[in-house]
Structure formats: structure tokens, C-alpha cells
Amino acid sequence: MLVGYARTSTLEQVAGLEAQRETLSAIGCERLYEEQTSSVGVREALKAAMDYVREGDTLIVTKLDR
């Protein structure tokens, strides 16, 4: 299963989050996790994604800085 993770740093970056969401969906991610939080803050959606993936799954991000 392909699992996607999208993140932006601020609430104002709605277009960036939407672009990541569209890319992940186009790739074929069956499950998406997303959040708008600073990279130095707690990333609950990333933790949830990591808890969800199982052996054989692939976690995909659209940008390495995410």
C-alpha cells in the first residue's frame, strides 16, 4: 500500500498543502496523512503515518524537506 504524508509549516500555505495532496493522490496513495505544523513542533500526523505503515507499505512524501 502507498501511504502519503503532506505537511506545510503554516496555515497560510493552503495551496502548498493542496498541491502535495493532489500529487500524492495522483501517485496512487490509498491513505493520506497531512498537517500544518512547524518542522520543530510535534508532528502528530507523521507519527500516525509511521504507526500505520506495515511491512511492504511505502511512505511517500512529495518534498524531502517535509
Active site residue 9: yes
Query: How much is the mean pLDDT over the chain?
Result: 92
pTM value surpassing 0.95? no
Model confidence at 66: pLDDT above 80: no
**Nearest-CA neighbor of 62 among 22, 10, 15, 11?**
22
Residues 27 and 60: beta-carbon distance below 8 Å: yes
Q: What is the pLDDT of residues 28-64, one digit of tens each?
A: 999 999 999 887 888 999 999 999 999 999 999 997 7
Give the fold, CATH level 3, of 2-61: Rossmann fold (3.40.50)
More confident residue, 22 or 11: 22
* From 9, 25, 38, 39, the catalytic residue: 9
